[in-house]
Structure 1
Amino acid sequence: MRLAFLVPAPDYPDPWRWAFDAEAAALERRGVAVDPVVWTDAADLDRYDLILPLVTWGYHLRYTEWLAFLERAERERLPVANPPELLRWNSDKAYLAEFTWKGIPCVPTIEAQALSDADLHHAAQQFGTSELVVKPPVSASATGTHRIRPGDAIPAGEREQRMMIQPFLPSIATEGEYALIHFDGVLSHTLVKRPKAGDFRVQPSLGGTTEPCDTPDGAEDLAQAVLAAAPAPATYGRVDIIRGLNGELLVMELELVEPALWLDVAPHGEAAFADAVIAAAERLSK
């Protein structure tokens, strides 16, 4: 069995081997051959039993190319896990509105089609808080994400752009953000991500830390509701959950494209990861 493990373009600036190495090693220990393939230059994919986009980091910076790759995968019926239609749906965080419509508690979100000062003032009034977070709906690694107050200068790169506005939740700096990792819909392990002192972004490249933890009461029920609301089953997925202003658990994100699975700090998840990937390869290569 041979897998194509899609990895970032050479100009992608952040370290990625820490995620790839742990995931590839978990598969190689099961006798699976793993080839790293740059996703922006993936010409020959027909010879692989499975294509994993788990480290397509930077797709949000080359979004037109990413959508073209997904169209190609569908056209050529490439064995991709997760499936291309699910990856496309999950690439734009407009899916949070779908969850809200279905009654799933999510971080309150307003989408501004062209972010303005008026949008910030309206959001602050609706959320009942003076501190906000703005982020692009197509984003990763906290790109374009800012903590801001109404009246603050909107960063030039985000003004008049399609953006999501959310309340700033102080629990990110105290309790942290929980990441529930699932393989074939079954919880494998839970982690807590925390920002460095004085920041609110939890990404490792920005000084954030991640460590295994117990799953908070009620978090897995929430995660299962989210996974069930997705348009197709997922071989792998990460549900990010945070505590709201009133102590309630809220969905921050469902990541089905290229989530860090944190096998480097949670090696007890290796077996479930390998089982799910091998099962997907056997199913899709028939």
Structure 2
Amino acid sequence: MRIAVLVPDPDYPEEWRWAYDVEADALASAGAEVEPIPWTAVPADVSSFDLILPLVVWGYHLDYPRWLELLDRAQAERWPMLNPPALLRWSSDKAYLTELADLGVPTVPTLAAEACCDADLEEARRRFESDWLVIKPPVSASATGTHRLGPNDDLPDDSRGRPMIIQPLIEEIAKTGEFSLMLFDGELSHAVVKQPAPGDFRVQPHLGGVTMPAHATPVAERLAKRALAAAPAHATYARVDIVPDDSGVLRIMELELIEPALFLDHAPDGGAAFTRAIMSALETVREEPLADR
């Protein structure tokens, strides 16, 4: 079987092999021939691939229209893509957090601003009863465009007049970190905790954050499954980021359904559950195109 894993554009500045290699090795151990293909240079004919996995499409947020065009093509040409294009499209815009909240899923409180301005910050501070805020673009990754704002901070120029999501700053992240639960075919595989560098609130490794194995509590597992159940399509692979708020209530920070680092190096089974889910989907796609699911 041949599997294409979509990876960053050659000009993408961050190191990505650490995420790709462990996933590709897990698939190769099941007998797959794995080929990395830049998501910005997918060939016209992909019919030789049994599955297409956008597992490392890092940088899609930097050329969002091109990413949406790729998803449109995948759906029109009925690619055997996991996760399916409709789910990837929904997950690309973090405004989905407001949808989850409307469905009763505990999420980090989120205000979506179409053209962010000072009045939006004032509304967020009033609504969240918090002087400290975090703002980020709704289409983003690697903490790009993310800012922490105190009570007297002005709206940054790169955020003004742009679509942004606004959330209260959760101080607990600096103390306990952000928990990531990996689920394959909806079942928990393993978990990690990501902690920011001292004085920071962002947990990404390139910003000094550290990642360690963690135990997922039954409450966290139930929350992750509840959030996935509210998504518009089945997720073969998912990373659910959960944080405790300052009152200790667990809340969804993000559903990473596109290109999440899955931290298979921390999986007790070495990634076997990941591989089983992908192979199971391969059997399914032979019976029912994923574009129809």
- Return the TM-score normalized by structure 2: 0.95
1:40 aligns with 2:40: yes
RMSD: 1.1
Match of 1:201?
A: 202
Q: Percent identity?
A: 56
Match of 2:11?
A: 11
Q: Which runs of 4+ in 1 moved over 3 A?
A: none
Q: In 2, distance between residues paired with 1:53 and 1:24?
A: 12
DSSP-derived class of the 2:173 partner? helix
Match of 1:115?
A: 116
Matches within 5 A, 1:184-195: 184-195=185-196
Residue by residue, what CA displacement relative to the aligned partner does 1:102-138 show, whole Å, maximum 9, x if unpaired?
1111101111111112211221121111110001111
Matches within 5 A, 1:16-165: 16-43=16-43, 44-165=45-166
1:266, distance to aligned residue in structure 2 (A): 3.1
DSSP-derived class of the 1:264 partner? helix
Asked if structure 1 preserves the Cα contact closer than 8 Å seen for 2:190 and 2:268, the reply is: no
Q: In 1, distance between residues paired with 2:283 and 2:206?
A: 35
Asked if structure 2 preserves the Cα contact closer than 8 Å seen for 1:134 and 1:164, the reply is: yes
DSSP-derived class of the 1:226 partner? helix
Q: In 2, distance between residues paired with 1:215 and 1:122?
A: 35
Asked if structure 2 preserves the Cα contact closer than 8 Å seen for 1:196 and 1:208, the reply is: yes
1:268, distance to aligned residue in structure 2 (A): 2.7
Asked if structure 1 preserves the Cα contact closer than 8 Å seen for 2:239 and 2:257, the reply is: yes
Residue by residue, what CA displacement relative to the aligned partner does 1:207-239 show, whole Å, maximum 9, x if unpaired?
111111111341011111101101111110011
Q: In 1, distance between residues paired with 2:59 and 2:205?
A: 15
Match of 1:230?
A: 231
Asked if structure 2 preserves the Cα contact closer than 8 Å seen for 1:117 and 1:150, the reply is: no
Asked if structure 1 preserves the Cα contact closer than 8 Å seen for 2:116 and 2:160, the reply is: yes
Residue by residue, what CA displacement relative to the aligned partner does 1:2-39 show, whole Å, maximum 9, x if unpaired?
10000000111111000000000111111111000011
Code of the residue aligned with 1:169 in structure 2: it is I
Size of the aligned set, in residue pairs, is 286
1:269, distance to aligned residue in structure 2 (A): 4.6
DSSP-derived class of the 2:264 partner? coil
Q: Which runs of 5+ in 1 are unaligned?
A: none
- Return the TM-score normalized by structure 1: 0.97
Change (3 A) 1:151 1:160: farther
Asked if structure 2 preserves the Cα contact closer than 8 Å seen for 1:51 and 1:78, the reply is: yes
Asked if structure 2 preserves the Cα contact closer than 8 Å seen for 1:49 and 1:282, the reply is: no
DSSP-derived class of the 1:218 partner? helix
Q: In 2, distance between residues paired with 1:213 and 1:231?
A: 28
